[in-house]
Amino acid sequence: MAATAAHAGGMAAPGQAWPWQRRSAQHHHGQARQHRSIRGAGGRRIAMDPCGQGCRMVWLLDQEYDRDHRAFHMTERRTDLHPLKIRYHGTVDIAYDERYTEFIQPTGLLPFISLVSRGGPNMNAAALTALVDRWRPETHTFHLRAGEMTPTLQDVSMILGLPIQGDPLCMNSGSDEWRRQMEDLIGMAPPPPADPKDRLSVGRPRVLNERPWPHHRNNLDREPTWAYIWDNVSEMTSDPKIIYRHYTEELDTLTAEQVDWEPYGTYYRIGAGMADLNHKCPEEARFWRMRCPLICMWLVEYHQPHRVMRQFGLYQECPPQWQDTDQALHRLDRQRQRKITNWHVHHSGHVTAFQHCLEVIRNAGPVEIVPHDLAAFNNYLQWFHQSTRIELVKPAYGDDILDDPIEFDEVAQSQHDIYARKGRSTSIASELNFVRSEIQKTADECEVVWDQSYRDEKPIGPLRHFIKNTARKMRRLANLLGCRDGEIPTSSSEEAEIPDDDAILSQSISRGATRSAYQLKPRGKAPNQYTP
């Protein structure tokens, strides 16, 4: 199975590795050795088997990336960030010249051309910024409570209809070269524009009206891709700053059970939900899980589908195999590297690696499929939650607020309650994060006390003390969320000495009580039903 998975992932044969794969392994093992020696210094931390299933925990966030990451500023420095400003070409329909069809069709780009000729998508700055906050360059995935997600080659095929096989788009970017290269690619070049237009900034969202797709029955390459399903979807229109907060809070609380992991259909029924789906979309399905460098001019990003196998409805290993995403590649920028124009030469090693991955998939035999396993995915989520940052919304209250009786006047002056009174916060994300944290801490404390009770000769007294304190904390937590249930008075204070087990048992015997020390006392009669 391992050998089959390696071939399916576009990797070299056993015992061999491409330079970028060897560098990945060396970097990973070097990081492990380094951070074992600097544990607690803020780098990657190693912990063996956190989920009890043979998983090794590696802190996934790298300081080199994290110190300038928006998520770090939001959580560690408590910076109030705003949505990014996006520049793009707009949503106006692009006129298509039918004379290009005979030249474009052989390149396999006709489905994409038919899509973009209907106009570009509306760019939701708030939603895109909320996703940028979750994107991690260390893994090339979004880090969410539901797990990792990322755009894959499956999305490229199903949404854009772009071909996967062929040469990467890595040409000369000189201003006088691209028209000649277009002639080499498709046989002709577009005429120079008479009135060039600058890019427009987003900020004018509109509702899309339903528009029928112009079917060309004599040319099936021009049928719609999966993107047509979203052609008629409207979007929220409001202050981008307010919508950005809503998206951030919703992503903070999104669970794996709330995600549609396979929107295109199950593994053996991809595209079945769209009757007139372009036949090009599922055509290259065998390449969708190929691990390879993706190249577009100066950009090189590693495709890591093995980290998001849940998106394919397949088994998710824990932890996913580590691969270095190369900090040098992330520093490449068209503006900073203006002198570099021969990108096909500059990235020749990555182009060769991509072609090799394609060849491996073409020559591979049948691939053994391991379907999604819920228990394995839960183990992965447990490991993942301990290995990265998944909460960006600040908890509503401090960690120690439940240690003492609630002072509601002081609570009213907290930032969370002030924002709520001013109408700046309508989501429960901050409260939910606080409650989730308290429940986890209480559960951990319960396990510690329970394990300790097996080792103590007289555990009843400490258990009673712990139960009393836990009950007080839970009642205070309920009060924070709107209840007004007073704390039950006890005869002994927090500082009173805990009686030993002999004293407790002798008191119970003298009273003739046989109730278990763990049985809760009755709360009395239920309140009478209110009658107006």
How buried is residue 310: exposed, middle or buried, by Cβ count under 10 Å (0-12/13-18/19+)?
buried
**pLDDT on residue 56:** 57
| Residue matched to tokens 């939701």 | 124
- Residue 432: is it exposed, middle or buried by C-beta count within 10 angstroms (0-12/13-18/19+)? middle
DSSP string, 221-285: GGS--GGGGGTT-----S-HHHHHHHHHHHHHH--GGG--S-TT--GGGTTTT-TT--TTTTTTG
- For residues 296 and 347, give the distance between their C-alpha atoms in angstroms, rounded to a whole number: 10
Q: What is the pLDDT along the chain (532 residues), one digit of tens a residue?
A: 333 333 344 444 333 344 334 334 444 444 433 333 333 333 444 445 555 555 555 689 999 899 999 999 999 988 989 999 888 766 666 777 787 788 888 888 888 888 888 777 778 889 999 999 999 999 999 999 999 999 999 999 999 999 999 888 776 666 556 666 667 666 666 665 544 433 322 223 343 555 778 777 788 888 889 988 777 666 666 788 888 988 898 899 888 998 999 999 998 899 988 888 999 999 999 999 999 999 988 889 999 999 999 999 999 999 999 988 888 888 887 777 777 878 888 889 999 999 999 999 999 988 889 999 999 999 999 999 999 999 998 888 888 888 888 888 888 888 778 877 877 655 678 888 888 888 888 888 888 888 888 888 777 888 888 888 888 888 888 888 777 776 665 554 444 455 555 665 565 555 554 444 444 444 444 444 444 3
CA distance 328 to 343: 15
pTM of the model: 0.74
8 A C-beta contact, residue 354 and residue 292? yes
Tokens for 94, please give them.
């692009």
Predicted local confidence at residue 147, as pLDDT? 95
Spatial distance between the Cα atoms of 491 and 41, rounded to a whole number of angstroms: 47
Round to whole Å and give the CA distance between 460 and 500.
Answer: 8
Complete DSSP assignment for 125-137:
HHHHHHHHHHEET
What's the pLDDT score for residue 475?
A: 85
> Read out DSSP for 377-392?
HHHHHHHHHTTS----
Spell out the alpha helix ranges (H) of 364-428: 374-385, 408-411, 415-421
> Count of alpha carbons within 13 Å of 75, Cβ hemisphere only?
19
**Integer Cα distance of 148 and 134 in angstroms:** 10
Strand pairing partners for 142? Answer: 135, 149
pLDDT value for 204: 31
Give the E-state strand segments of 380-479 in sequence order.
none
How far apart CA 420 and CA 482 sit, in angstroms, is 14
Cα(531)–Cα(165) distance, rounded to whole angstroms?
74
Q: Calculate the CA 528 to chain-centre distance.
A: 49
- Count of helices and strands (H, E) across the chain: 19, 9
d(CA 86, CA 370): 40
Backbone angles phi, psi at 422, to 5 degrees: -85, 0
Reading phi first (left if > 0) and then psi (alpha if -120 to 50, else beta), residue 107 is in alpha
What pLDDT is stored for residue 362 in this prediction? 94
Q: Mind giving me the DSSP string for 298-348? A: TEEEEE-GGG-GGGGTB---SSPPP----HHHHT--TTTTTT--BHHHHTH
Nearest to 265 by CA among 243, 285, 293: 285
Question: 342: Cβ–Cβ under 8 A, 6 or more apart, which residues?
Answer: 172
Q: How much is the mean pLDDT over the chain?
A: 76
Q: Can you point out the beta strands (E) in 49-166?
A: 56-58, 87-88, 135-136, 141-144, 147-149
Q: Could you tell me what percentage of the chain is helix, strand and coil, using 3-state DSSP and rounding each to the nearest 5?
A: 40, 5, 50
Beta strands 87-88 and 200-201, pairing class: antiparallel
- Going by the DSSP 8-state scheme, the letter that residue 371 receives in this structure is B
| DSSP string across 480-511 | HTT---PPPP-SS-TTSPPPPHHHHHHHHHHT
Q: Are 258 and 146 in contact (CB under 8 A)?
A: yes
